[in-house]
Structure 1
């Protein structure tokens, strides 16, 4: 049973989040993006096992947090003012809280969230 304020997920869900921002500066700030992913993981009760990141010649960033339950990643496209976030969530991860944290940190002008139930059997 979930503790108060915690959503227990009995499903394996994949979230694809597309975020368009007004100012693409955040999309090339590797440290800020990694901080945001870490804050989102903490907000969603996820256990971070490791991280990896890369900056491309145009300043775009790819960052991935490996979670004990899954993963959380961001890929930025500053030339399109776009960030793509992927989250695979299962168990005690509160994916909605994680996505809300990322949304607040990126201040999007537009956002699209897709949730896909994944097979566990």
Structure 2
């Protein structure tokens, strides 16, 4: 396979509800993750749902990070796809730390073609 990138699909649990329902905290966590992952931000969109939940997408020169939160369950899901030299695992560690997830499950996929 000609590897083009690394794709992490992450589920995280037992995070504080007030963190997962705070769009500014989610924005800052994504920015810190992008820096830790040595990625280049192109655009960042953060949306607060009513009555709760946040969705944010970061378009990167290396691809993207997307996060969706369910504060009422202390749960969030993250998709990190990095091409090139980026470090998605480092980015995910920052998200886990800043959002205080007590449990995570990470599935890693190599992306590319034969």
What's the TM-score once normalised by structure 2's chain length?
A: 0.91
Aligned to 2:73: 80
Give 2:86's match in structure 1, choosing from 90, 93, 98: 93
Figure out how many residues of one structure are paired with residues of the other and give that number: 112
Cα distance in 2 for residues equivalent to 1:22 and 1:11: 32
Give 1:113's match in structure 2, choosing from 103, 106, 109: 106
TM-aligned CA distance change 1:104 to 1:45, over 3 Å: same
SS where residue 59 of structure 1 aligns?
Answer: coil
Aligned to 1:71: 64
Uncovered stretches (5+) of structure 1, i.e. residues with no partner: 1-9
Aligned 1:20-99 pairs, distance under 5 A: 20-99=13-92
Cα distance in 2 for residues equivalent to 1:22 and 1:103: 9
Deviation at 1:23, TM superposition (A): 2.2
Uncovered stretches (5+) of structure 2, i.e. residues with no partner: none
CA RMSD of aligned residues (A): 1.3
TM-aligned CA distance change 1:46 to 1:68, over 3 Å: same
Cα distance in 1 for residues equivalent to 2:9 and 2:109: 8
Deviation at 1:21, TM superposition (A): 2.3
